[in-house]
Chain A
């Protein structure tokens, strides 16, 4: 008895050796934790850098330098019957000249008028067409400065730069200083960035076309991928027999989610434009191509959602004689719907940022009016960013960043909605 007890080797917990060993194990714990913190700091740092850069370059695009002029229609020959044909150019020019107290010699007028956007007559015309009661009256209107002056006002062009190295002449700076002193220059929020369609002139270019193009494309994408995805998921999850064929289908769907998006663009180009003869640059085709990309995500999300409903619910329904489709449509699907919707929104958010397939089907065309529906040519937010990033004018640099910020804003909004839906409605089993 006693000899057996002696042979048992008991660890000496408080020996130095054991203590050192424990210290080493704790140190390993702490090291791992520090690696984790370092990795997260690194990632957040980059995200911060990205947003900060965008804000730094893009912030100035959210305001637009404008000059307040008085448009006098009381003397001019503007009749309500022919607003399109009225001499808007002369009306605007005389208003602009009136800003300057000293007479500008004819030879300098060209440089003077170039300070303002060349589309000023159209802006005034459209404003009067929208407000016909202004006819015969005199009213105030804010005319945007042209891009070089806008950049100058925002400090992007310095007056210390030699005159031949900048796009604003000393003479124009002189006029601008006088205008500023007289208080007609202001920098209001640039609603045009969101409300205007694209334009060759940065001071007028906006995202209206791109936003509505993206909207139509996402709508088409949703209308295709949601019903098809949910139906396919229900079939695969609830009805499909387990055999070689369904295994292959399953593997393919999972792999489809990893196919580079540009491939879907090529497919869209060949099939939707080539064979079906659908219109180029149309949100319809964009949405169809995007739906090819969201479809696998939709199927995977829906299957996971259906699987997460406990089988006891299905058994409860079947146990009182519900048919399979009743068990699914009355119980399983409604219970998994919050998860499915969350997944759908995240899928659509992915589709919103997708660029390559849209470039291939021509949604990077230069189009100056917002699309009227899914058939009219249009751009989308990411392709608009692509177009602007490619434009040489100074004003497009900040507008590109601003557009990226708008896109990010939409993404944050959609993901926030998804998180909200998940927290609010998703059931934990």
Chain B
């Protein structure tokens, strides 16, 4: 028997030749205490694509992103209604283990936040707590491949034991990406990953995001229109807690349906 999502996936694939849906939000409402931050958001995240979330600040992009791996659970006042699925399974179901969910849906934050430990330890930590490696050589291999995928290995291979906090901002952010990759997630969430970086480091991270798309599904929040245009295939535009419009990035930037999107990407507000 096929799950509902699988059916939809199969049908969707035939109709619009889009990749299958990896995560899906339906009627997602988020409240911080009494104030509502998101209103009935319906959004599909498709496999091996980069989905960009854009919109003026305070519109709920981070809030939505943090719903996707239940990071919002750490905020006492935060309440999530509606359904969010990963491969068809509701991630807010009582039977779901958040530890497993966050291993499958990794996250990279706005400000690079490596652990104040060695570069090696930063990467090896995730695999260790999840039991993904046993021997020293298995760990060595995970560390190396993760750093390679994050395009950082050549720069740091001689100082794996020096603290991760000693790297430059851009390197730190790529270390954080490598750390997320090390637990082999299926989806990687990135919340304005380049906002603390200089243009050159930004370019490197953007290049990296494009490569990572081969193996991972990526959702990225960005306040830079150019960045969204450069790295993403799909774009979702938020405004005041509502999902205004979503669609192919090319179409969104050339011929948006909604006036607010038009205004935003032409820089009239935000």
Binding site for B on A (CB under 8 A): 241-242, 310, 312-323, 326, 330-331, 335, 427
Q: Which single residue of chain B is at the shortest CB-CB distance from A323?
A: B99
Residues in chain B near residue A330, CB distance under 8 A: 125, 129
The answer to whether B115 touches A331 (Cβ under 8 A) is yes
Q: Which single residue of chain B is at the shortest CB-CB distance from A315?
A: B109
Considering the complex of A and B, which 3 residue pairs feature the smallest CB-CB distances, nearest first? A321-B103, A312-B113, A319-B107
Alpha-carbon distance between A318 and B114 when the two chains are bound, in angstroms: 13
Task: Known A312-B109, A330-B125, A335-B116; judge A318-B76 contact (CB<8 A).
Answer: no
Interchain residue pairs with CB less than 8 A apart (30): A312-B113, A315-B109, A316-B109, A316-B113, A316-B114, A316-B115, A316-B179, A317-B125, A318-B71, A318-B74, A318-B102, A319-B69, A319-B71, A319-B102, A319-B106, A319-B109, A320-B102, A320-B106, A320-B125, A320-B126, A320-B183, A321-B99, A321-B101, A322-B125, A322-B126, A322-B129, A326-B129, A331-B115, A335-B116, A427-B116
Q: Taking the complex as formed, is B251 at the interface, i.e. its CB lies under 8 A from any CB of chain A?
A: no
- Report which of B76, B106, B130 forms a contact with A242, defined as CB distance below 8 A: B76
Alpha-carbon distance between A321 and B103 when the two chains are bound, in angstroms: 5
Q: Taking the complex as formed, is B45 at the interface, i.e. its CB lies under 8 A from any CB of chain A?
A: no
11 additional A-B residue pairs with CB within 8 Å, beyond A315-B71, A315-B74, A321-B102: A242-B76, A315-B107, A318-B102, A319-B69, A319-B102, A319-B107, A319-B180, A320-B125, A320-B182, A322-B126, A323-B129
Residues in chain B near residue A320, CB distance under 8 A: 102-103, 106-107, 125-126, 129, 179-180, 182-183
Residues in chain A near residue B130, CB distance under 8 A: 321
Q: Taking the complex as formed, is B8 at the interface, i.e. its CB lies under 8 A from any CB of chain A?
A: no
- Report which of A241, A315, A427 forms a contact with B113, defined as CB distance below 8 A: A315
Q: Which single residue of chain A is at the shortest CB-CB distance from B183?
A: A320
Residues in chain A near residue B103, CB distance under 8 A: 320-321
Q: Taking the complex as formed, is B100 at the interface, i.e. its CB lies under 8 A from any CB of chain A?
A: yes
Residues in chain A near residue B71, CB distance under 8 A: 315, 318-319
Residues in chain A near residue B125, CB distance under 8 A: 317, 320, 322, 330
B123-174 interface (Cβ within 8 A of A)? 125-126, 129-130
Q: Which single residue of chain A is at the shortest CB-CB distance from B104?
A: A321
- With most chain A CB atoms within 10 A of its CB, the pick from B71, B113, B130 is B113
Residues in chain B near residue A326, CB distance under 8 A: 129
Q: Which single residue of chain A is at the shortest CB-CB distance from B77?
A: A242
* B57 CB to nearest A CB, Å: 19
Residues in chain B near residue A314, CB distance under 8 A: 74
Using C-beta atoms within 8 Å of the partner chain, give the interface range for chain B.
20 to 34
Q: Taking the complex as formed, is B260 at the interface, i.e. its CB lies under 8 A from any CB of chain A?
A: no
Q: Which single residue of chain B is at the shortest CB-CB distance from A326?
A: B129
* B109 CB to nearest A CB, Å: 6
Residues in chain A near residue B109, CB distance under 8 A: 312, 315-316, 319
Residues in chain B near residue A312, CB distance under 8 A: 109, 111, 113
Q: Which single residue of chain A is at the shortest CB-CB distance from B103?
A: A321
Alpha-carbon distance between A310 and B99 when the two chains are bound, in angstroms: 21
- With most chain A CB atoms within 10 A of its CB, the pick from B99, B103, B176 is B99
Residues in chain B near residue A319, CB distance under 8 A: 69, 71, 102, 106-109, 180
Q: Which single residue of chain A is at the shortest CB-CB distance from B179?
A: A320
Q: Which single residue of chain A is at the shortest CB-CB distance from B181?
A: A320
* B217 CB to nearest A CB, Å: 16
* A217 CB to nearest B CB, Å: 36
Alpha-carbon distance between A316 and B178 when the two chains are bound, in angstroms: 12
- Report which of A321, A323, A331, A335 forms a contact with B126, defined as CB distance below 8 A: A321
* B113 CB to nearest A CB, Å: 4
Q: Which single residue of chain A is at the shortest CB-CB distance from B76?
A: A242
Alpha-carbon distance between A418 and B14 when the two chains are bound, in angstroms: 69
The answer to whether B99 touches A322 (Cβ under 8 A) is yes
Alpha-carbon distance between A322 and B183 when the two chains are bound, in angstroms: 11
Residues in chain B near residue A315, CB distance under 8 A: 71, 74, 107, 109, 113
* A17 CB to nearest B CB, Å: 48
Binary interface encoding of chain B residues 86-105 relative to chain A, with 1 for a CB under 8 A from any of its CBs, else 0: 00000000000001111100
* A338 CB to nearest B CB, Å: 12
Task: Known A242-B76, A312-B111, A315-B109; judge A321-B129 contact (CB<8 A).
Answer: yes
Alpha-carbon distance between A314 and B130 when the two chains are bound, in angstroms: 17
Q: Which single residue of chain B is at the shortest CB-CB distance from A316?
A: B113
* B68 CB to nearest A CB, Å: 12
The answer to whether A316 touches B176 (Cβ under 8 A) is yes
Residues in chain A near residue B113, CB distance under 8 A: 310, 312-313, 315-316
Alpha-carbon distance between A219 and B100 when the two chains are bound, in angstroms: 42
Binary interface encoding of chain B residues 4-22 relative to chain A, with 1 for a CB under 8 A from any of its CBs, else 0: 0000000000000000000
Residues in chain A near residue B116, CB distance under 8 A: 313, 335, 427
Residues in chain A near residue B183, CB distance under 8 A: 320-321
B36-93 interface (Cβ within 8 A of A)? 69, 71, 74, 76
Binary interface encoding of chain B residues 178-197 relative to chain A, with 1 for a CB under 8 A from any of its CBs, else 0: 01101100000000000000
Alpha-carbon distance between A320 and B125 when the two chains are bound, in angstroms: 9
Alpha-carbon distance between A315 and B101 when the two chains are bound, in angstroms: 14
Alpha-carbon distance between A316 and B106 when the two chains are bound, in angstroms: 10
* A146 CB to nearest B CB, Å: 63
Residues in chain A near residue B111, CB distance under 8 A: 312
Residues in chain A near residue B176, CB distance under 8 A: 316
* A111 CB to nearest B CB, Å: 74
Alpha-carbon distance between A331 and B122 when the two chains are bound, in angstroms: 11
Alpha-carbon distance between A423 and B182 when the two chains are bound, in angstroms: 35
* B18 CB to nearest A CB, Å: 28
* B59 CB to nearest A CB, Å: 21
Alpha-carbon distance between A242 and B75 when the two chains are bound, in angstroms: 11
* A102 CB to nearest B CB, Å: 80
Q: Which single residue of chain B is at the shortest CB-CB distance from A314?
A: B74
Alpha-carbon distance between A241 and B102 when the two chains are bound, in angstroms: 23
Alpha-carbon distance between A320 and B71 when the two chains are bound, in angstroms: 11
Alpha-carbon distance between A242 and B76 when the two chains are bound, in angstroms: 8
* B192 CB to nearest A CB, Å: 13
Residues in chain B near residue A322, CB distance under 8 A: 99, 125-126, 129
Alpha-carbon distance between A12 and B130 when the two chains are bound, in angstroms: 73
Alpha-carbon distance between A310 and B129 when the two chains are bound, in angstroms: 22
